[in-house]
Chain A
Amino acid sequence: MKNTYIPIPMKVDKIVTEDPEKTLRTYDLNFVNKSDLEKFQYLPGQFCEMSLLGMGESPFGIASSPTEEGFLRFTINRTGLVTNEIHNLREGDAVGIRGPLGNWYPVEDFKGENVVIVGGGFAFTTLRSLLVYLLAHRDDYGEITMIYGARNPDLFIYKNELEAWLKRTDMKLHLTIDNAVDGWQHHVGFVPAVTEELAPSAEKAWVVVCGPPIMIKYTLPVIEKLKFPDERIITSLERRMKCGIGKCGRCNIGSQYVCIDGPVFSLAQLKTIPDAL
């Protein structure tokens, strides 16, 4: 039996720096062994533990979509020891991953329905995965609406893709920044306010909300006002994690383990867990 704590060997294929401050970098990783690539079956919303030998591990949502074959993408915010070390990686360097871990956005349930995606800050990673997945299976889904906010234009990730999505006619992308700046042609205001103003319809629709805790806190009431049922309001929780396989207890809230019962939960589920939000 393969030891689940031993990371899958990967190689850094491509690095993209997302912001002028260089705190956000996107890494495309390739599998060193073809057999590992074949075994790695995942869906949007799942995550991996990225491992640097001698430094430790850190969990990251998978930003690539299973419809993009051959690589895994992660966008990493430099915040601590492990993420700092990841930022020192060069193309061609070795790194390990464990995964795919956790559950996924209910893309099967979304079929034939409209999907509203609301995201803020750099938690946008698994939302990108979701959007790319939905677009790759475009005929399976109804209207696709996305609202994505960042503090300022520099802090959006995947800027090239955003440009392309803005031009598409089979989806609607709304970008917003906190305060107006010269030359900005999209919305201005916090994500909750912009969501309220755009008022996406709850008719035959699901909504996925991901972002910093404060954004989620103020966006959920807006969405509830739009009459989305709790079962159709989906979010992804961030908790400190270690093992990622439901053993170490680190991510426990109530009777749930975020790493294995989540990270994706419906609001209906979260309301039964004390102190989840």
Chain B
Amino acid sequence: MIKIEKSNFGTFIQNLSADYSLFAPVGEGQQSAFREVKNAEQINTHIQITQNSPKTVFLPQTEVLFEFSGDDIQSEEKPAKPMFFWGVRSCDAKSLNLLDKVMGQSKQRPDDPAFQDPYWKARFDDAIILTLACNEPASTCFCNWTGGSPFSKDAGDLWAVETETAYLVEPLSEKGEAFVKGLSGYDTASEKDKQSIAKLKKQAESYLQPAVDAETLKEKLPQTWEDPLWDEVSAKCVNCSACAFICPTCYCFDIQDEGKKDKGKRIRTWDCCMFPIFTKEASGHNPRSLARERVRQRVMHKFRYFWEIYGESLCTGCGRCVRVCPVNLDIREVAKQLLEADSAA
């Protein structure tokens, strides 16, 4: 574990930005997001968690898949420089790994590159993610429900803890290992540093509410299929899709063409299962025409369907959806109510 004194942080960041496209938390409150930075002054180092997650860089809200002119098609997948992400919370680092299972890999066709997303891979495979431990989780945080924790080392290439005077950094992956080897001139963390990590960790964990067990929830969900609770919940929901757009693990997208036959672009944009039109077929038939079916779809996908395929839930407990919902639908409350519902199958 190496030690980057805060007095050296500026130089460290400067050097990083020479070799990488460096992304870090920028801005306050609703404006906060991961953006490209050139120096340490641009970084918001005190933010607990950004409004927008790093997903917006790897799977942008809108992106050009290719441009065409006549029969000629041009696409650009690879960023000019590999990306380095400073200050990703462990829940968000995990969300990138979850997204990679869908976008970068294919469970059904693991060996066929035709089933891997080239844009995602070009960005994610070379990116270095530095996971920064949360010293002060927010009241909306519930990463402990789905196997996370503020000091989790389960995701990312590097792991860092912020102490009063320094950032202590250690590698988590081969990429991280190589990165640390390439650094010179930094001290190694002392015994005292390690003690302060243990103290910070204990304190951070004490901020979290007791966890609901995601596996119990997953087992319970099929029995709630016809539960009237879905009517109650969906009656509140206004189908704005804010929860899905802000969610670091929602990946649904649409593909549309812009321009004319001889010149234009094929673009993809985020889409969402909460919009009625999402599943409407050309014939007019809509398998999820009712709000209750769509709300149920989102919750089931997060806590049941994804688990059936990949053995874990598609929610990292980041709490963003809780914060942005205009009618204060709290996914934690929905989950608790579902667990308590005595509905038969």
A interface residues, Cβ below 8 angstroms from B = 1-7, 9, 52-57, 79-80, 83, 94, 213, 238-240, 242-243, 245-250, 252-255, 257, 260-261, 274-275
Interface of chain A, main secondary structure = loop
* Nearest B residue to A94, CB-CB: B71
Residues of A within 8 A of B305 (CB): 252, 254-255
Contact, CB under 8 Å: B282 / A79: yes
How many Å lie between the Cα of A168 and that of B75 in the bound state? 50
B260 at the interface (CB under 8 A from A): yes
* Nearest B residue to A248, CB-CB: B253
| Smallest CB separation, B270 vs chain A (Å) | 10
B83 at the interface (CB under 8 A from A): no
Residues of A within 8 A of B75 (CB): 3, 5-6
How many Å lie between the Cα of A250 and that of B261 in the bound state? 25
Contact, CB under 8 Å: B260 / A54: yes
Contact, CB under 8 Å: B102 / A246: yes
Extra contacts besides A5-B66, A248-B251 (10): CB < 8 Å: A4-B118, A54-B263, A83-B282, A238-B281, A240-B279, A246-B106, A246-B108, A249-B252, A250-B252, A255-B306
Binary flags per residue of B261-287, CB closer than 8 Å to A gives 1, else 0: 111101010010100001111110101
Contact, CB under 8 Å: A248 / B271: yes
* Nearest B residue to A4, CB-CB: B114
| Smallest CB separation, B268 vs chain A (Å) | 8
| Smallest CB separation, B11 vs chain A (Å) | 38
Interchain Cβ contacts under 8 Å between A and B, 25 examples: A4-B114, A4-B115, A5-B65, A5-B255, A53-B266, A54-B261, A54-B262, A56-B255, A79-B283, A239-B281, A245-B114, A246-B108, A246-B115, A247-B102, A247-B103, A247-B117, A249-B251, A249-B252, A250-B252, A250-B271, A254-B305, A255-B306, A257-B108, A260-B115, A274-B225
Contact, CB under 8 Å: A53 / B103: no
| Smallest CB separation, B269 vs chain A (Å) | 11
Contact, CB under 8 Å: B252 / A54: no
Inter-chain contact count A-B, CB under 8 Å? 121
Q: Which residues in window 86-117 of B have CB below 8 A to A?
A: 102-103, 106-109, 113-117
How many Å lie between the Cα of A213 and that of B118 in the bound state? 35
Beyond A5-B66, A53-B257, A247-B253, whether A260 also contacts B262 by CB under 8 A is no
Contact, CB under 8 Å: B280 / A52: no
Residues of B within 8 A of A56 (CB): 255-257
| Smallest CB separation, A92 vs chain B (Å) | 13
| Smallest CB separation, A263 vs chain B (Å) | 13
